[in-house]
Amino acid sequence: MNNLTKVLIALFLIIISAGIILVGINYVSFNSYHDGGYAEQEVTVWGDEPLDAFVSESENYENHFVFSYIPRDPNATLDCYMTYEFKQDGNTQESADKKLYEGVTASDPIVLEFPREKGSEYELDVTIEDTGGAILHKSGMTIYPSTHGN
């Protein structure tokens, strides 16, 4: 074997070893994170409307949730109707049927805020329509407590 071949083989083995070490470190970190119970919640989100004119964002705090629905087009000003249902442990806590929001913009989005209790499971289903009835956004979310599935 010439020296170039030896160097290439050594380099290849070093790269493979580094990859195996990195995968092992990440696997151990991931397992420690989940096994230690540090995760606050597990969230499942769905939504597949072809005309999705809104981006949804959620913020989770110790005692409440904040959900924002922001027009995807930063220059848009929209008048729209929102239908939503927020459930805690399967019981409806708050709902609205075609509530009108006028002048919704990226800087003035639709914001929903709900209380949160430790150990509860939450569901939020949202549909946003324009004033003509076309669906602009449809999504759902389930938030499980950290003890879900353990």
In total, how many domains does the chain have? 2
pTM: 0.66
Are residues 61 and 109 located together in one domain of the fold?
yes
Strands (E), 35-145: 41-46, 54-60, 64-71, 78-88, 91-104, 110-115, 122-130, 135-145
CATH code, 92: 2.60.40.10
Residues 79 and 126 in one domain: yes
Per the structure, the complete domain to which residue 34 belongs is given by 1-38
Q: How far apart are CA 25 and CA 28, in angstroms?
A: 5
In a domain, 125, yes or no: yes
Confidence of residue 38 (pLDDT cuts 50, 70, 90): very low
Assess whether 106 and 58 both reside in one domain: yes
Over residues 84-143, the pLDDT tens digits come to 999 999 999 999 999 999 999 999 999 999 999 988 999 999 999 999 999 999 988 888
Instruction: Please report whether residue 2 resides in a domain.
Output: yes
